[in-house]
Amino acid sequence: MSKNEVVETTEAQIAVHWKEEEYYYPSSKFVGQANLTDPAVFDRFSLDNFPDYYTEYAELLTWYKYWDEVLDSSDAPCYKWFKGGKLNASYNCIDRHLKDNKNKTAIHFVPELEEERVQHITYQELYVRVNEFAALLRDTAKLKRGDRVTIHMPMGPDLPITMLACARLGVIHSVVFGGFSPSASADRIVDSQSRVLIVTDAYYRAGKLLNHKFNADEAVKIAAEQGQTVDTVLVWQRYPGKYSSETPMIEGRDIFVNEKLKDHYGARVEPEQMLSEDPLFLMYTSGTTGKPKGCQHGTGGYLAYVAAMSKYIQDIHPEDVYWCMADIGWITGHSFIVYGPLALCASSVIYEGVPTYPDAGRSWRIAQELDVNIFHTAPTAIRALRKLGPDEPAKYNYHFKHMTTVGEPIEPAVWKWYESAVGKGEAIIVDTYWQTETGGFLCSTVPGIKPMKPGSAGPGVPGIHPIIYDDEGKEVAEPGIAGNICIQNPWPGMFQTIWGDRDRFVDTYFAMYNTKPDSKDWRDWPYLTGDAATMSEDGYYRVLGRIDDVINVSGHRLGTKEIESAALVVEEVAEAAVVPVAHEIKGKEPDLYIALKPGIPATDELAQKISDAICEQIGKIAKPRKVWLVPDMPKTRSGKIMRRVLGAISNKGDVGNVMTLANPEVVEEIREMVQK
């Protein structure tokens, strides 16, 4: 294109003027030991060879029966990977390692209290505990293949044991993040039709033993109001043999796992031979509309994909000690604390509590004590660790060879601190871009092949072929121009559908760029991530953030509609609008604007009540920075709330021209209130 030619740009095609960062290269020491160093992988995994290249990933697993077909797209965009193959995820993460590695540590559990001992659970021990608990699930809770069960548990070894026991029986688990409220847990119980809820009595968070059983009782009550009966609540004890909650057990419904397990000591449960396409679990995530979506992940495709990502991108070897700081209640924990690492016979660290408790050195003491050499965390944690103790890592004797960041874009300055202070200049970093829906990574550098670039996730991982489209569906091929990042091809780790809502699955993720709704050809179904991104000359992607109404708080998605509907439950509230506001550590925080019903006075108590209502319905993670009780919402003449204007006010930015609004004078009033 000649320089003088006028370029037509659509709204999505905003030019982004990032300063291109310098490359960082992996050390020869790292490359010398890396699992993947042959650049030919990118030729093997070219679109011409799709989908057969993914058999390389499936070969990492042990199958009872090989698949008949690599990809069945007859029901596109609901795909079946390794169709007809049979396997069991629990067998792949445990049993198959026993022959050579039964005495190796599978899980290092680090309690939050430093005076408590670290537990080292071997593969043999994991095998015993998973079998016994599977027997309990089958014989006491009467769960069978295909049933769904909701798990609301904090970080502890009992959580992966519970998940793997479900997987052994073919029971579909739905883990709810421990910090979520009873109401959020209830919504998931109802949507997944669970009649069994599994919880822990209590857990430590920032030095306090929290009563978690209380949440179970509330959740069961709310679920019942919505028509879903939970007949069995299984209660693990934080201290086996001792009940650490004040909430009474309910006769006939609640069962202490640690007592009941005695009936099953020594039990062995034959793993169910699951079809590759059978669902393994549900993981709920926020979207544009109020109701969270149950992302349904399959067995064979998902497990093959996460095993491959752990092996080739995280570079896990069986002799490594690997610590992912995420919570198992999010997809990161499912894929990269439990299923990926354990499928590879790695040693995976589970830490109960807050990374900076009781002080900013805690994480590095854990790394030192356990000899962690692969470390995985999120920008929000990196920012917190950097703020509270920038010089702490140097005081401890640990050495990472590899570090991961995930969840939101990382600022180059933070990336550089991570590299030099945490990694001590010795570790490579992968910035992995992906989502709950995608099961595993979409973009990242392959650490033994490609250099790193601070702030950029990198190219598509082998087999993933991203493309940037504008709003009209034209490819944005020019570097540095933003658009909607999509994936051209399906991949084994992608979710199969939204639980019970195929139409929403198609509408949300595929409708935008699909022109032939009846097509069975995967080429007609590019996957819409919902993120804006740019590509640079070298094919590296830089993710800018969500294009939908979702706020990324501490690396996790919260639907603005979800928060707004929670506020609207408060009787006095007439209208609610949520906007993201920049936060030093969390990345973004929700700011909440409220217009009250006529005649209701704006008081601090009422603002507090609204804030509490949100924590109650969703969880503390959604707590607004501030509840602004405003005289009126800025609105367009057609009555639409101008969230853009509120966002600019919250972030101390330019509100732009507001004269076309129905009520421009209110903007100044709100600005004074917020920016005073």
Binding to ligand WT7 by CB under 6 A, coded x per residue (else -) over 119-138, reads --------------------
DSSP one-letter string for 27-77: -HHHHHH-S---TTHHHHTSGGGTTGGGHHHHTTS--SB--SEEEE-TTTT
Can you tell me the distance from the alpha carbon of 504 to that of 304, in angstroms, rounded to the nearest whole number?
26
Contact 22, 452 (CB under 8 A): no
- Of 327 and 564, the one with the shorter C-beta distance to ligand WT7 is 327
Give me the phi and psi of 643, to 5 degrees please.
-65, -30
Find where tokens 């890396």 sit.
34
Could you say whether residue 445 binds ligand WT7 (CB under 6 A)?
no
- Of 275 and 430, the one with the shorter C-beta distance to ligand WT7 is 430
Q: Contact with ligand WT7 (CB under 6 A): which of 408, 419, 549, 564?
A: 408
Contact 374, 316 (CB under 8 A): yes
Could you say whether residue 433 binds ligand WT7 (CB under 6 A)?
yes
> What is the nearest approach in angstroms of ligand WT7 to the Cβ of residue 285?
5
260 to each of 90, 116, 140, 162, 234, how far by Cα in Å? 22, 25, 9, 14, 10
Structure tokens at 236: 């693990």
Could you say whether residue 383 binds ligand WT7 (CB under 6 A)?
no
Contact 370, 323 (CB under 8 A): yes
Q: Contact with ligand WT7 (CB under 6 A): which of 174, 445, 497, 529?
A: 529
Could you say whether residue 434 binds ligand WT7 (CB under 6 A)?
yes
Q: Which stretch binds ligand WT7 (CB under 6 A): 63-71, 149-157, 240-248, 553-561?
A: 553-561
Total residues at interface with ligand WT7 (CB under 6 A) = 25
Could you say whether residue 331 binds ligand WT7 (CB under 6 A)?
yes
> What is the nearest approach in angstroms of ligand WT7 to the Cβ of residue 335?
8
Beta strand pairing call for 483-487 and 527-535: antiparallel
- Of 50 and 433, the one with the shorter C-beta distance to ligand WT7 is 433
Q: Contact with ligand WT7 (CB under 6 A): which of 174, 232, 436, 484?
A: 436
Contact 346, 318 (CB under 8 A): yes
Q: Contact with ligand WT7 (CB under 6 A): which of 285, 445, 508, 617?
A: 285
DSSP one-letter string for 174-242: EE--TTB-HHHHHHHHHHHT-SEEEEESEEEETTEEEE-HHHHHHHHHHHHHTT----EEEEE-SBTTB
> What is the nearest approach in angstroms of ligand WT7 to the Cβ of residue 436?
3
Give me the phi and psi of 175, to 5 degrees please.
-90, 130
Could you say whether residue 614 binds ligand WT7 (CB under 6 A)?
no
- Of 97 and 546, the one with the shorter C-beta distance to ligand WT7 is 546
Could you say whether residue 560 binds ligand WT7 (CB under 6 A)?
no
Could you say whether residue 588 binds ligand WT7 (CB under 6 A)?
no
> What residues from 651 to 670 belong to the interface with ligand WT7 (CB under 6 A)?
none
Binding to ligand WT7 by CB under 6 A, coded x per residue (else -) over 467-506, reads ----------------------------------------
Beta strand pairing call for 527-535 and 627-630: unpaired
> What is the nearest approach in angstroms of ligand WT7 to the Cβ of residue 160?
18
Q: Contact with ligand WT7 (CB under 6 A): which of 88, 162, 215, 432?
A: 432
> What is the nearest approach in angstroms of ligand WT7 to the Cβ of residue 391?
26
Long-range contacts of 33-40 (CB under 8 A, 24+ apart): 33/317, 33/401, 34/315, 34/447, 34/448, 35/311, 35/312, 35/315, 35/316, 35/317, 35/448, 36/311, 36/312, 36/315, 36/446, 36/448, 36/449, 37/448, 37/449, 38/449, 39/449
Q: Contact with ligand WT7 (CB under 6 A): which of 83, 168, 205, 556?
A: 556
Could you say whether residue 409 binds ligand WT7 (CB under 6 A)?
yes
Long-range contacts of 640-646 (CB under 8 A, 24+ apart): 641/575, 641/577, 643/560, 643/577, 643/578, 643/579, 646/577, 646/579, 646/591, 646/593, 646/670
> What is the nearest approach in angstroms of ligand WT7 to the Cβ of residue 444?
8
Can you tell me the distance from the alpha carbon of 551 to that of 337, in angstroms, rounded to the nearest whole number?
25
Q: Please, what is the angle between helix 664-675 and helix 643-650, to 10°?
A: 30
- Of 285 and 496, the one with the shorter C-beta distance to ligand WT7 is 285
| Element at 293 (helix H, strand E) | strand 293-298
> What residues from 57 to 116 belong to the interface with ligand WT7 (CB under 6 A)?
none
> What is the nearest approach in angstroms of ligand WT7 to the Cβ of residue 557?
4
> What is the nearest approach in angstroms of ligand WT7 to the Cβ of residue 519?
25
Q: Contact with ligand WT7 (CB under 6 A): which of 407, 439, 462, 590?
A: 407
Q: Contact with ligand WT7 (CB under 6 A): which of 325, 457, 592, 595?
A: 457
Could you say whether residue 332 binds ligand WT7 (CB under 6 A)?
yes
Q: Which stretch binds ligand WT7 (CB under 6 A): 113-121, 382-390, 489-497, 544-552?
A: 544-552
Could you say whether residue 543 binds ligand WT7 (CB under 6 A)?
yes
What burial letters (b/e) apply to 40-58, b meaning 16+ CB within 10 Å? ebbeebeeeebbebbebbb
Q: Which stretch binds ligand WT7 (CB under 6 A): 34-42, 145-153, 213-221, 434-442?
A: 434-442
By the criterion CB under 6 A, which residues form the site for ligand WT7?
285, 330-332, 406-409, 431-436, 457, 529-531, 543, 545-546, 552, 555-557
